[in-house]
Amino acid sequence: MLLTQKKTFDLINSIDCHFLSQVKTNCPKLWAAVAAHCAVCQPISTHEYYDSGHGRQVHRRIVLYGALTNSPAGWNGIQRVTKVQRRGHRQGKQFDETAYYVMSIPLNCAEKVAKGIQSHWGIENKLHWAKDVNMGEDAMTLRRHEQVSMLVHLNNIAYNTLNFNGYKVVKDTFARFANKVKELCFLFRSETKT
């Protein structure tokens, strides 16, 4: 059975690590509890900043709240709730959106949380997006945990091997090495020498 987000939170807590996770509407009970919490509780801290570049102008307001007081069953370890409001222009179109995050570390500084969220998007854009688009991980139809785990490990090996050897992990790179066993073996040997 695949790990659910609740089980992932429990696993992270059990090894004395922390999580920062966006709450999406596919977890409706948690999403509703977090939205209600933000509507009625006083914030601990707020931080606002403006960001421009890559065809966008964005004003962000990060509001940090205390521990979730009415957490749905099974959502353990949530110490802080964050509401992020983004508005501005993206590729000539106006937008106004709100996102919610939960985290297990009891920070009291919205600016630090903002940096953590921005770091998350850096990982999402540099790693997860590349693995989804180039390796099709989100479109996987495998359901057995062992199969999914094996495929993800193989994808990680491929991604890291290409990165280590100075290749951009894009579709053209995969097309270049498709069915070229000797070239692939050379990449693996060069990675294991260091």
| Distance separating alpha carbons of residues 148 and 152, to the nearest angstrom | 6
| Beta partners for residue 88, in sequence order | 58, 95
Give the side-chain half-sphere CA count within 13 A for 161.
20
pLDDT in tens, 68-123: 888 899 999 999 999 999 999 888 889 999 999 999 999 999 999 998 888 765 55
Unique residue bearing structure tokens 């059975």:
1
Averaged over 42-64, what is the pLDDT? 90
| Distance separating alpha carbons of residues 162 and 67, to the nearest angstrom | 42
Per-residue pLDDT at 128: 59
| Distance separating alpha carbons of residues 100 and 190, to the nearest angstrom | 44
